[in-house]
Structure 1
Amino acid sequence: MAIEIKAPTFPESVAEGSVATWHKQPGEAVTRDEILVEIETDKVVLEVPSPVDGVLESIAAAEGDTVTSEQVLALVKEGAVAAAPTPAEANAPAAATEEVELVGDLRVAPAARKLAAEKGLDLAKIAGSGKGGMITKEDVVKAASAPAAKPAAAPAAVQVTAAPGERIEKRVPMSRMRQTIAKRLVQAQQTAAMLTTYNEVDMKPVMELRKQYKDLFEKRHNGVRLGFMSFFVKAATEALKRFPDVNASIDGNDIVYHGYQDIGVAVSTDRGLMVPVLRDCDSMNLVDIEATIADFGKRGREGKIGIDDLQGGTFTITNGGVFGSLMSTPILNPPQTAILGMHKIQERPVAINGQVVIRPMMYLALSYDHRMIDGKDAVQFLVTIKELLEDPARILLDV
């Protein structure tokens, strides 16, 4: 009996997706819940598993094809068993049935090269079992499933190697997610009256507090680590309550004021920038925030952040400092009207009480939509965050 494998039901905000990768080919055996194909939407990558044990009979949508919700992707023959190779096929040299490519000094089957690229594996570290040491697809599968295998490298990192004097180019299609990111960023700049105000914060109080309690915090809360982001989220939450315009959004000619604080935290993943949302931050403590952010980071690396995690949000925080950025201008995340940019903590000489001292300082940047937020409110909002971080006891005391 043939079972139809269909694309997932996309949410209303997702019109269509693209077939990213087929993990099985026609004629190959599949098991129940084994991932057959990945569908890339403009928000996340969705995995489509097999509902039954059997054999993949046919594929109806090739890699790169655009598919809609509930569209048939393939047929799986339930209960069937993949045909075993004949003795002649089993004993035939790999080179007789499969082409060979040269990758440097390595002899590699095309399917093996493609799979290794998808898995982020170094071909030089894979032992070839084919004729003349050729690396086969089975060798790559074995290397990928080895316990010591490293996580897949970023598929977006395209390497172009050229010999001295050569001028080569490599053209690759832009992923659907990258297209959407590009479209939204351009749209934000074209439709909003975006301005950015800057300030700096002395991170010494937060750093000393973290240093004093981080080990006890981690031990007390089952391995949850105390970072800086939770302090920024709590400070931003308090500032948003004091300045509701910064927590609002624009919908056509209407202003939508939100009686809650849902803060998006920008996460860099192999597939691009994603902004999962912390819900009801006013009711979250530092432990809840750190645990949720750590979970977002883990699922982001694994490609398992869901569409629901990305929906909504009334404010966004992005941290370019983890990559070494000293100063930047963050771009709005529509329909939100403001975004906070964190940066690298850098020791600098500052004047305190008439004395020049060295302090760990961080530049903060608040980009905002001037259609909605006046400059005075934007500056005071950023000053509020600065004051709360430089005296973190105020966060806990709500003063």
Structure 2
Amino acid sequence: MVNNNKYSNYENILLSVLFLTFGFVFFDRLALSFLFPFMADELHLSNSHLGLLSSVLALAWALSGALVGAWSDRIGKRKPLLVIAVILFSLCSALSGMVTGFISLLAFRAVMGLAEGPILPISQSLMVESSSPHRRGLNMGLLQGSAAGLLGAVIGPPVMIAMAEAWGWRQAFILSLIPGLIIAFLIWKYVKPDADSRTQTAAHHDKQDAPRPRGIKAYAGLLSNRNILLCTLISCFYLTWFVVLISFTPTFLVNVRGFEPSTMGTIMSCLGVAWVIWGFVVPGVSDRLGRKPTLVIFTLLAACCPMVLLYTETPLMMGVLVILTYTGLGCFTLFMASIPAETVSRGQIATALGLIMGIGELVGGFGSPTLAGFAADQYGLQIVMFVSSGAAIVASLLSLMLKETAPAVLARRNLAVSQPSA
């Protein structure tokens, strides 16, 4: 018999630890953007350098997420990999404060991307096993959406900027090592080893393990599954929506819309607030309404956000509408975690999540911003808003072809089928 109280306590402890873990990943990933104005002159960096630094991190993130995620499934040792990854990316972030030029900074950011890439697929595979079916989507949404938004987009900017103003940008990077080491200790102390976790959660997980193919066969087998293929394609277009929007919006608001930098900062903060709110609301809704309809509806709403930035007249109204329409970060949890985790066997979860995230990062995080930048040079910066909105619309259309996976919805359907008609 499984002790339900003990199981529920561990579920909440694991959620808390992994919330801090992935939130701090985004805190570090976005730190360069916040500190770039402080370091650009000293290191002789240009906007092209910033773009390349972001791209190489995304490329490394994509490759390691796919490869190490699959490896963690194969060896069945996720906890030690998670501890090592957190320590490594924290060290690389701290070493960014000791660089002397672009090349050394590029090298540290690349290694940092390699360390950060596996953290999401490994964390979500741990979370899905320890989640009660009725709150699986909510847990995964808090981990992936709200954590990144709260620590990366709401808390991160003022904290990193305040440290840079008080002690300098180098010290701000170096001090980021401290919370990373604390989080690594929390993982080591509170996250159960795979064997223990598997024993305690077996009664709560509704998928049996299956034989695990390796290498190219593993990826080919996953992509032959309709939901996994669709989630991978959705990831490409959704990463395009997100990265293009988040990369170009500050410049767009100042240079095209003519807003003051302070006003631009306030609107960007609204994006962070929306990220936190929708990060758990959307997955929570999907637990009851279903993954597929939730993804379709909130993705169409996300497609409206670039149009809000393009056409809304006043900053106040723009901020309100941004909070109401910046729903896409909650959808990320559905196609990048919940749906694939509920589609494949336990032994393929990290592989599937790493594959979906990796290809999405390559196309949407690495390729699309460059193409959008070239288009902006040719046709004006307004074009990036149409690129972002169009990508979300395509993602919504692809979502219509998904098969439903939400446990509560499937249970209701099975109950309706089993009941004799009147």
Q: TM-score range by the shorter chain?
A: under 0.3
The structure carrying a bigger helix percent of its residues is: 2
Structure ranking higher on relative contact order (CA contacts 8 Å, 6+ apart): 2
User: TM-score w.r.t. structure 1 length?
Assistant: 0.21
The structure carrying a bigger strand percent of its residues is: 1
User: TM-score w.r.t. structure 2 length?
Assistant: 0.20
